[in-house]
Amino acid sequence: MYYINDKEIEKRLQFIPTLITAMEELQSEPEAGLVHYFAQDRTLHLAIEVITDVGSYIIDGYLMREASSYEDIITVIAGENVLSQQIVDPIIKLVQERRNLVQDYYELPQHTLSIDNDQLKALCLILQTFKQDVELYLEQNT
């Protein structure tokens, strides 16, 4: 029998609407300097952490192939049909930006991660789809 840490997965999935709200607020405010930049980066960082944390819990709980990197977490769960195919590539691209956010944060004022409102809007939809896909997978496999 598998041990699925559904409580930890659920905590992270329930945080996604908060991230979406933050992204919507970032879209509605004009880009105004350093505070906006840091707010955007932190929101994106948290989105990446939620996705990779949930992916890791699923991999561990369902005894899937061990992931060799953050990007590979997505590849593994996508290969197990946890995610809709249309969100896999955008999520991998987002996760690839983790290094910029966590290790290259000193590259101010702007590094390659700054995204525009259309990209934030698309990311909101991707996060919502990720949440729905994971919930459906858990429902069908527990």
Which has more confidence, 93 or 116?
93
One DSSP character per residue, 20-64 reads: HHHHHHHHHS---HHHHHHHHHHHHHHHHHHHHHHHHHHHHHTTP
> What pLDDT does residue 24 have?
93
Q: Which of 63, 120, 87, 142 is nearest to 75 (CA)?
A: 87
Whether 41 is covered by a domain: the verdict is yes
Compute the average pLDDT of residues 115-132: 90
Whether 54 is covered by a domain: the verdict is yes
Compute the average pLDDT of residues 110-120: 68
> What pLDDT does residue 35 have?
84
Whether 1 is covered by a domain: the verdict is no
> What pLDDT does residue 23 have?
93
> What pLDDT does residue 26 have?
87
Read off the pLDDT band of 7 (50, 70, 90). very high
> What pLDDT does residue 113 have?
53
Handedness of CA 13, 89, 60, 133 (dihedral sign): positive
Whether 75 is covered by a domain: the verdict is yes
Structurally, how many domains does the chain consist of? Answer: 1
Segments forming the whole domain that contains residue 20: 6-141
Whether 25 is covered by a domain: the verdict is yes
> What pLDDT does residue 108 have?
63
> What confidence tens digit (pLDDT) does each residue in 54-99 have?
999 999 999 999 999 999 999 999 999 999 999 999 999 999 989 8
| pLDDT at residue 31 greater than cutoff 80 | no
Identify the CATH number of the domain in which residue 60 sits: 1.20.120.580
Whether 26 is covered by a domain: the verdict is yes
| pLDDT at residue 141 greater than cutoff 80 | yes
Whether 19 is covered by a domain: the verdict is yes
- What pTM was computed for the model? 0.92
Whether 88 is covered by a domain: the verdict is yes
